[in-house]
Amino acid sequence: MLQFKKDRVMILDGAMGTMVQKYKGIRNIIPDTLNVLEAELIKKIHNEYANAGCDAVVTNTFRSNRLTMYECGFDFKEVIKRGIDIARSVRKDLLVAQDIGPIGRFIEPKGPISKGQAFEIYREQIEIGKEEGVDFILIETMYDIEELDIALKAADDFSIPVFASMTFNKEGSTFLGYTVYDMVKTVEKHRVAVVGANCSTGPTDMVNIVKKLLNTTNIPVLAKPNAGIPRDVEGNLVYDVNEDDFAEYILTMINLGVKVVGGCCGTTPSYIRKIRVKYDVLG
């Protein structure tokens, strides 16, 4: 199990999709496929985050489950393995986290995927990460507490640290109505190293979400907000929180007791660099 020093915080990297869109100039792309098609581009993005000062790089595998990759015409196993290899090749002193997102389809009784199917989909992804030697699993952007529970049951079969993160609106609930308290009650049934929130909200609203988490659980807390709220400007998504303000909010959350921080949609290496610089001054 990863150990968190009382006076140190882990800094993750920022968004992958934002960077892929920046370099490719298109928005309708599944970044995971570039692990096979354009590995050097993914390595370049990981390198930029590493040079910005992150402690861990997150693999480009958010949507690399069997169903999504089949629809894209790719072998999910190859996509995951290549994603891990690319991340590991960046720098030996960095931790590597395997990124796992939602399946992308509702699970019974809400949708067509059975609980057994969902369990196997998560288990086979985590098994690859375990075999390839990732340092921890990041299960993130979850919105259905039942799906999170299934993913964590799959992870329980492996001796590997797991970070679990859900996506909440500014009121502190998912679009399906699950709350921070529902998440904590669920993750505490499993072997989870870190619990947190990512995506959906900017850093302003994330402060209130992590306060609820810190007041509800003794598990170390993660915060990965978006760079604010996006708006479309001539076909490009522009986020409304700049690097300096973003880093200040992150420092506020660190001072509250958050142990793992990073960036979600809209964040870039410059956001992570600001966090590193401000945090090092604080420390």
List the binding residues for Zn(2+). 199, 264-265
Q: For residue 127, report the phi and psi dihedrals to the nearest 5 degrees.
A: -60, -40
Query: Encoding tokens for residue 108?
Result: 């019974």
- Give the integer Cα–Cα distance in Å for 60 and 75: 15
- Give the integer Cα–Cα distance in Å for 125 and 33: 16
Torsion over CA: 28, 31, 34, 40 (sign):
positive
Residues flagged as binding site: 199, 264-265
Please count the other Cβ atoms lying within 10 Å of the Cβ belonging to residue 130.
16
- Give the integer Cα–Cα distance in Å for 8 and 21: 33
Checking DSSP bridges between strand 236-239 and strand 10-11, what pairing results, if any?
Answer: unpaired
Omega within 30 of 0 (cis) for the link into 31: no
By the 8 A CB rule, do 173 and 133 touch?
A: no
Q: How many CA atoms lie within 13 A of 264 on its CB side?
A: 28
Query: Encoding tokens for residue 73?
Result: 């015409």
